[in-house]
Amino acid sequence: KQEVTQIPAALSVPEGENLVLNCSFTDSAIYNLQWFRQDPGKGLTSLLLIQSSQREQTSGRLNASLDKSSGRSTLYIAASQPGDSATYLCAVKGTYKYIFGTGTRLKVLA
């Protein structure tokens, strides 16, 4: 059974720092991995999708990598800003279903 773990559960950093969020999964047979952002009381917004054949994807200050063989993905956020404060969730896709991690709650201090 696929399990997805995100470490750390919470993170607080000063503005301007570069930071890395981690996501690990137990079954490497995935179709893709997606990173989402969730603001308090809101739905999820897709940040990046990495297909199983890809190693990384970039969007602005965000870079996500995928290592299927080791069951790991990282989300790199460059030059963090207070507006980046949110919960970040990763999800891996099987044949039809997505399995979500519990998220990393990020707070960027001004």
Partner 1 sequence: DGGITQSPKYLFRKEGQNVTLSCEQNLNHDAMYWYRQDPGQGLRLIYYSQIVNDFQKGDIAEGYSVSREKKESFPLTVTSAQKNPTAFYLCASSRLARGEGETQYFGPGTRLLVL
Contact residues: partner 1, CB under 8 A: 4, 31-32, 34, 36, 41-46, 49, 51-53, 89, 91, 93, 95-98, 100-103
In angstroms, how far apart are the furthest CA atoms of the chain?
A: 42
Nearer to partner 1, 46 or 81 (CB): 46
With respect to partner 1, which residue has the nearer C-beta, 77 or 89?
Answer: 89
| Residue with smaller CB distance to partner 1, 19 or 49 | 49
d(CA 88, CA 73): 13
SS (HEC) of the chain:
CCCEEEECCEEEEECCCCEEEEEEECCCCCCEEEEEEECCCCCEEEEEEEECCCCEEEECCEEEEEECCCCEEEEEECCCCHHHCEEEEEEEECCCCEEECCCEEEEEEC
Least distance (Å) from partner 1 to the CB of residue 33? 10
CB of 96 to partner 1, least distance (A): 5
Shortest separation between residue 41's beta carbon and partner 1, angstroms: 7
* Residue placing its CB nearer to partner 1 in the complex, 18 or 41: 41
Q: How far is the CB of 79 from partner 1 (least distance, A)?
A: 25
